A = this chain, B = another copy of it.
Amino acid sequence: MAKLDFSKLDGLVPAVAQDWRTGEVLMVAFMNEQSWALTLSTGIMHYWSRSRGKLWKKGESSGHVQEVKELRIDCDDDCVLAKVNQVGDAACHAGYRSCFYRIVEKGAALRVDGVRVFDPASVYGEKT
């Protein structure tokens, strides 16, 4: 039986979301025991938001939920790999398909290399 070890990171494990069709790594976030249980029972990715300190159903604001296609755990039982169908085709709050839209080049310079699917202002609303 899958039993994750949440003890190494104060109740959290990292979780990698990977596009189930292309294999692109979309994002990495954290799960606590509750979000793992909800992910298993609902088939929709749930994380723990460290910045907000609360359970986080990915896409709860944007509608860009992640449907689980396959779940794997690693050899140490302390990390999750989820193959997902990314609704809306963008996992990143900045509007990119993947949160990893920047390449680190020689000298540690950053170069944007990603597909921008939406304008964040149109999804999350603009502040007035």
Residue ranges of A at the interface with B (Cβ–Cβ < 8 Å): 1-3, 8-9, 14, 16, 18, 22-25, 27-28, 40, 50, 70-76, 79, 81, 92-94, 96, 99-104, 108-110
Inter-subunit contact B75/A110 (CB<8 Å): no
Complex contacts, A79 vs chain B, CB 8 Å: 28, 99-100
The answer on a CB contact under 8 Å between A75 and B99 is yes
Which residue of B9, B92, B104 contacts A75 across the interface (Cβ within 8 Å)?
A: B92
- A96 proximity list for chain B (CB < 8 A): 75
Residues of B within 8 A of A40 (CB): 104, 108
A18 near B14: Cβ-Cβ < 8 Å: no
Q: Tell me how far the C-beta of A48 lies from the nearest C-beta in chain B, rounded to whole angstroms.
A: 13
**Residues in B neighbouring A70, C-beta threshold 8 A:** 103
Question: Would you list 13 pairs from A and B whose C-beta atoms are within 8 A, ordered by A residue?
Answer: A1-B108, A1-B110, A3-B108, A14-B28, A16-B16, A16-B25, A23-B24, A28-B28, A40-B108, A71-B103, A72-B102, A73-B104, A74-B99
Known: A71-B104, A93-B75, A100-B74. A110 touches B2 (CB 8 A): yes
A74 to B99, CA, bound (A): 5
The CA-CA distance from A16 to B81 in the complex, in Å, is 10
